[in-house]
Amino acid sequence: MSTVTSLTLGTLRMPVAGLGPANPLPPLRRTTDPHDGVRIHVDDDEMRTNVAYGHLPTLLPYLVQDGYGRVREERDVEVAVLQNDVLRATFLPGLGGRLWSLVHLPSGRELLHRNPILQPANLALRNAWFAGGVEWNLGTTGHTTLTCEPLHTVRVTGADGVPVLRMYEYERTRELVYSLDVSLQPGSPVLLVTVRIVNPTTRTVPVYWWSNAAVPETDDLRVVVPADSAYHYAYDSGLQVVSVPDDDGRDLSRPATAPSPADWFFDCRAASRPWISALDADGRGLLQVSTRRLVGRKLFVWGRSVGGRRWQQFLSGEGSPYVEIQAGLARTQLEHLPMPAGETWSWVEAYGMAELDPAAAHGPWSVAQEAVARAADAIAPGGVLEDELALAAARADRPVDEVLRPGSGWGALERQRRQAAGEQPLPDAGTPWPDDTLGAEQEPWLALLRTGELPEADPARPPESYVVGEGWAGLLETAPEHWATWLHRGVARWHAGALVDARAAFEASLAHRVTAWALRNLAVAEQVAGDVQAAADHYRRAHALAPGERALTAEAMQALLDAGRPDEALELLDVVPEPARRHGRVRLLELRAALGAGDLERAGPILDSDLVVDDLREGEDSLADLWAGYHRARGTADPPPLPARLDFRMH
């Protein structure tokens, strides 16, 4: 048996579509989530309370990440590799700490869906998300704000001298610190991941966590969990209880039989240990088991519909279908749990390969459950996980041995803000926030902290970053007044729910200096107030000041369409430079405007072209709707079926 566990940095070369620049317009409204407004057909007061609790009003202070395209180039992606003689675990510290690959070395088997490409798409809270590996989700319902952000990555040493990979960050929407301690003992058949969430605030904070593992989908794949019922969510219906594995005559443990995209949240509360597995025809595959705090388990499938398959191609290219097996703090992903002030929550997750008798793995449900439970006890005994939880707690506040790569500067900024305000500091012994991570995004806020004044930036350029929350609001409200101070006051007030005061701040910003950014924010305020005509007017003025800002073009065109002014939406394009005019979202809006204006000669070529909407949203049926609308407008007696290239329907 090997006595060595190694931790190394390296690169992985693969086809990558770069993230591009962030959208500079503050997200004053949440992007629609497929789960919004879901009907709960479950008689459970606790679940209903958790579903209603904790929703974020906006994603501020984060900005939307929609600057990517569909052109991929071979690039080197930074990786951290933890390896013993049984497993090789490859992480992407620059992209949310994603566990990208987990290889069982004796068999050479990849246990995860290792995506052959890295292609962002619009599935996360901030838009950009990519498929594959194991994603760590903290924040609110949806893929985390940090899924395409770097994490602080350091090396620490366990009590036994074995290296531990630690990745951590300060999550700004919830103002929480979280860390991942990843360990791999010599000869161990499981990778151990200890998750630690710290609430350093003086208030109770809604918390959401799901670890999402993607595994290859095959015709013979079976997902086994210690549950006999589940909460089923399909994209055209509500949440309801179903039996497991027989759901209305279909064996839901076999993902390949799912007709369309769906979620099953398994009720594992009665199980002695929470786990989930994905097994092939030979009874082999990924097994994930955890300590009891992580009680939720879920199966997500894209399904065999044309739309589901198209989504898979969009995310992973041809011939790389996958499903996700997931684990969370609550029973479903619609829920948030209250985390009291000053508390720390932690748990251990184990990832390894299960090897079962195929007859048991694919036999009667109870037989399969018992077989996987034995496998979990064999490769990841409960005592091992509990011991690791204690060891991780003991080393949590030890100084790190080596910084492998920096994360963002926001933790360092928050450390300085708390120090200046005399507040409880962030935990920093084992999760340091060095000043050398501070950069251009933090610069204006450092100046505000140190001088009490926000620098007056170039009004022709949008601000690079925003701050919100009680800690910053007071500083903004007492800073000397100019257009930028008022603009940021308005954004902070909006996030706090003071919409009338926010509107007044945007108007005050315009009184100091007319900028596209204050006009745009005022337009959003008009939309929320229900005055679509005033919103469209403000957007037109804003766009005239910044016609090269693609995000503003898209929002302005949508506002004009909402106001029933498609001809004006088309006029905007006359001053939009390339390549913004050729962007998929802008082309989609041009198509919609052309149909609204009755210009079928303009609409037809767009629809018949190789139209690709780079940031098509999960659950968005706009392409199908426009296809149908175009053929209705033409009076086509027998319209052709929706082409597969345009079919992203989730139901």
- Average confidence (pLDDT) over 105-128: 97
Domain of residue 460: give its range.
Answer: 443-620
CATH number at residue 192: 2.70.98.10
Beta bridge partner(s), residue 142? none
As for how many domains the chain has, the answer is 2
Element (H, E) at 520: helix 516-529
Instruction: Give me the pLDDT at residue 636, please.
Output: 87
The pLDDT value given to residue 31: 66
354 burial via Cβ count (<10 Å: 0-12, 13-18, 19+): buried
CA distance 181 to 237: 39
Residue 650 lies in a domain: no
Q: What pLDDT score does 2 carry?
A: 47
Provide mean pLDDT across the span 579-597: 95
Residue 407 is assigned to a structural domain of this protein: no
What is the C-alpha separation between 579 and 397, in angstroms, rounded?
49
Percent of the chain with pLDDT over 90: 92
CB atoms within 10 A of CB 154: 24
Residues 387 and 491 in one domain: no
Tokens of 240: 């309801």
Task: Specify the pLDDT at position 247.
Answer: 83
**pLDDT at 33 (0 to 100):** 60
Q: pLDDT class for 34, splitting at 50, 70, 90? A: low
The per-residue pLDDT for 151 is 98
pLDDT at position 401 over 50 = yes
The predicted structure's pLDDT at residue 235: 72
Residues 119 and 234 reside in one and the same domain: yes
**What is the mean predicted confidence (pLDDT) over 272-282?**
97
CA 129 to chain centre: 6
**Do 382 and 450 fall into the same domain?**
no
% of the chain at pLDDT higher than 70:
98
**pLDDT tier at 1, thresholds 50, 70, 90:** very low
Same domain, 222 and 359: yes
Inter-residue contact 113 to 133 (CB < 8 Å): yes
Same structural domain for residues 366 and 462? no
453 and 383 fall within a common domain: no
pLDDT at 30 over 80: no
Residue 640 is assigned to a structural domain of this protein:
no
The DSSP bridge partners found for residue 287 are 277, 352
Predicted TM-score (pTM) of this structure: 0.96
Q: What is the pLDDT of residue 37?
A: 67
Give me the mean pLDDT over the 638-642 stretch: 89
- SS3 string, 29-92, reads CCCCCCCCCCCEECCCHHHHHHHHCCCCCCCCCCCCECCCCCCCEEEEEEEEEEECCCEEEEEE
In this structure, the number of other CB atoms found within 10 A of the CB of residue 278 comes to: 30
Q: What are phi and psi of 224, to 5 degrees?
A: -120, 135
Q: Which residues are bridge partners to 352 per DSSP?
A: 190, 287
Mean pLDDT of 571-578: 94
**ω into residue 640 within 30 of 0, thus cis?**
no
Band of residue 159 on the pLDDT scale cut at 50, 70, 90: confident
pLDDT in tens, 56-92: 999 999 999 999 999 999 999 999 999 999 999 999 9
Residue 578 lies in a domain: yes
CATH code of the domain in which 449 resides? 1.25.40.10
| 376 and 452 co-located in one domain | no
Query: Are 469 and 380 found together in one domain?
Result: no
31-67 burial, b for 16+ CB within 10 Å, e for fewer? bebbbeebebebeeeebeebbeebebebbbbbbbbbb
Mean pLDDT, the chain, integer? 95
- The phi and psi torsions of 402 (rounded to 5 degrees) equal -155, 135
Question: What pLDDT, on a 0 to 100 scale, did the predictor assign at position 91?
Answer: 98
Residue 429 lies in a domain: no
Of the three residues 366, 395, 424, the one that is the final residue of a domain is: 395
pLDDT at 576: 95
Confidence of residue 557 (pLDDT cuts 50, 70, 90): very high
* 383 and 462 both lie in a single domain: no
Those residues whose C-beta lies under 8 Å from the C-beta of residue 174, and which sit 6 or more positions away, are 138, 139, 140, 205, 206, 207
Adjacent-strand bridge partners of 11: 78
Look at residue 493 and give its three-state secondary structure.
helix
642, part of any domain = no
Same domain, yes or no, for 356 and 470?
Answer: no
Higher pLDDT, 119 or 41: 119
| Mean pLDDT, rounded, for 43-52 | 92
Looking at residue 102, its amino acid is L
Its sign, for the CA torsion 177, 405, 195, 95, is positive
Q: Between the CA atoms of 529, 532, 533 and 537, what dihedral angle is there, to the nearest 10 degrees?
A: 90
* 366 and 474 fall within a common domain: no
Judge if 378 and 457 occupy the same domain. Answer: no
What integer is the mean pLDDT of 253-269?
94
The mean per-residue pLDDT over the stretch 488-515 comes to 98
Confidence of residue 619 (pLDDT cuts 50, 70, 90): confident
Q: What is the pLDDT of residue 651?
A: 78
Inside any domain, residue 204: yes
User: Which amino acid is located at 471 in the chain?
Assistant: G
- CA 231/CA 224 separation, integer angstroms: 15
141 is a domain residue? yes
Residue 351 backbone dihedrals phi, psi, to 5 degrees: -125, 125
